[in-house]
Chains A and B, each alone.
Chain A
Amino acid sequence: MAVYHLKTPISEEQVRKLKVNDTLYVTGTMVTARDEAHKRALDLHNNNKQLPINLEGLALFHCGPIVKKVNNKWTVVAAGPTTSFRMEPLQADFLKNFKVRLVIGKGGMGQKTVDAMQKCGAVYGAFTGGAAILAAKAIKQVKNVEWLDLGMPEALWILQIEDFGPLTVAIDTYGNNIFEDVQNKAEIKRRTIYKKLSTT
């Protein structure tokens, strides 16, 4: 359960050192993307078009923030993670094509992503769900926003972050997945709990 302070761009080598239950704080550039932004990024890639930003080594945040314009400048008001599982069908291709090294979200992801993380060299960092002000506090600046036509929550927000965390490494490059372990243990307990409830 080591603690790491990482700076973007994060290298594949750095990310392969991380193990589940490690704690991370990240400084540098992070982009937000939910379902629609994942779709658009992959559509562009499949049509041989460039993304507005090179994502290699950056952090990807599953988040639909509340953003406000103050004096003509965007300010992030609240930015907690959204449920990562919705991005499961698209995440593996996204990792393969764009080489982000850190996916930040809540609730964990499925086997397809776990395999892709092992293969491409990326980890999943769980940020506490709902802790939107804590997240916003570590976002120092909105560097840019792309695809605002998708709506505020779905747009690609490019953010300057400082010690963004704590993130718990929940999927590492060795195929470990905390969420799956916890879920499997709960499944095993289901029978025992049933038995106890039937006798009281």
Chain B
Amino acid sequence: MVNQQVVETVAVKLLQLAVTKLPSDTKKLLQKAYENETPVGKSQLKAILDNIELAEKTAAPMCQDTGIIIFYIKAGSELSGLDKIESALRKATIRATKEIPLRPNAVDPFTHENMGNNTGRFVPFINWEIVPGNELEITVLPKGGGSENVSALGMLTPSDGVVGLKKFVVDTVINAGAKPCPPTILGVAVGGGADIAIKLAKKALLRPINEPNSDPKLAKIEQELLQAVNSTGIGPMGLGGKTTVLGVKLDYAHRHPASYPVAVVVQCWAARKATAKIYPNGKVEYLTHEVT
């Protein structure tokens, strides 16, 4: 049975952890990048690392753009009361906006009205997955606007193939330049259809950024793409340098014979995400952050 109150409390905590404390995967990559950078690149990465530390210490959001709120839910099929989760997550978003605080970012596209609490039609957005068992896993991905704006979908032709995919990723990074607050992380997906490719690309950002793909074939392409985009020299904040991208996360779906959709979702260095698992006995385990 889903306990609405527990879901709400955990979701508020997850939002707070996500926006104030960068998970160790990205932090480690930023530290490594700092050691290898040029003087200008170093100055940008130092500001980023100092900022991360200050945000942790003061429990304040590391970036003023606290994003559009997106949840990923893995719901155990044996759980009852799944219909209560949505309203609990909405309440949590409203509470977190006031308590942390988050910047109110949900705007009506026609009237430009901002409710002021990060909720609106389809916001927060919830991605559902039904899995075996009786546990509930909640992930929050507050996604910033600057990096989202340079995300891209390419409806390539099958003859373009893997080379076309790689070129499209390089193009996306060069066209984005300084805009998405590099060093960025790229979620890349190929196949399915337009919607499926984008969904998989965004979801790929939830994987640990510093671990290679479990599929060696994909791991090789990820590595090759990482080297290619970093040879552009765009560097931290687009001021020039060695680190334009920290990691590439690749996924795929089988495709229609006539289609070759490629999606690239760009994530800024502030790769905020947090996951917790709620067990049937009420125990809560935080998977991305240490919680004392």
**Which A residues are closer than 8 A to B by beta carbons?**
1, 21, 23, 63-66, 68, 77-80, 82-83, 85, 106-108, 126-134, 136-137, 151-153, 166, 168, 170, 178-179, 181-183, 185-187, 189-190, 192-194, 196-198, 200
Contacts and interface: CB of A to CB of B under 8 A. Distances in A.
Contacts of B177: 107, 179, 182-183, 186
Given A83-B179, A107-B178, A134-B50, A194 B103 contact: no
A43 B58 CA distance: 40
Contact of A193 (B47, B144, B146, B170): B170
Interface on chain A toward B: helix, strand, loop, or mixed SS? mixed
Most chain A beta-carbon contacts within 10 A, residue among B58, B103, B269 = B103
A23 to B, nearest CB: 7
Contact of B54 (A66, A137, A178): A137
Contacts of A66: 61, 64, 66, 101-103
B40 A185 contact: no
Contacts of A153: 103
23 contacts: A66-B61, A66-B66, A77-B61, A78-B103, A80-B64, A106-B181, A107-B179, A128-B48, A129-B237, A131-B48, A132-B51, A133-B55, A133-B61, A133-B62, A152-B103, A153-B103, A166-B43, A170-B239, A186-B232, A189-B231, A197-B166, A197-B228, A198-B163
Contacts of A107: 146, 177-179, 237-238
Contacts of A182: 177-178, 233-235, 238-240
Contacts of B171: 190
Contacts of B238: 107-108, 179, 182-183
B244 to A, nearest CB: 9
B165 to A, nearest CB: 9
Interface residues of B, number: 51
B282 interface: no
A162 to B, nearest CB: 16
Interface of B: 39-40, 43-44, 47-48, 50-51, 54-55, 58, 60-66, 101-104, 114, 144, 146, 149, 163, 166-167, 170-171, 174, 177-179, 181, 224, 228, 231-240, 268-270
Contacts of A198: 163
A168 B40 contact: yes
A82 B179 CA distance: 9
Given A64-B103, A129-B146, A132-B51, A80 B237 contact: no
A134 B224 CA distance: 34
A193 B47 CA distance: 30
A86 to B, nearest CB: 10
Contact of A179 (B167, B233, B239, B270): B239
A178 B239 contact: yes
Contacts of A79: 64
Nearest to A153: B103
A64 to B, nearest CB: 7
The 6 closest A-B pairs by CB, nearest first: A129-B181, A128-B47, A131-B51, A78-B64, A130-B63, A133-B54
Contacts of A183: 174, 177-178, 234, 238
Nearest to B54: A133
Contacts of A83: 146, 149, 179
Nearest to B53: A133
Nearest to A76: B64
A143 B62 CA distance: 24
B54 A134 contact: yes
A126 B43 CA distance: 11
Given A1-B39, A153-B103, A179-B239, A133 B60 contact: yes
Contacts of B231: 189, 192-193
Contacts of B114: 151
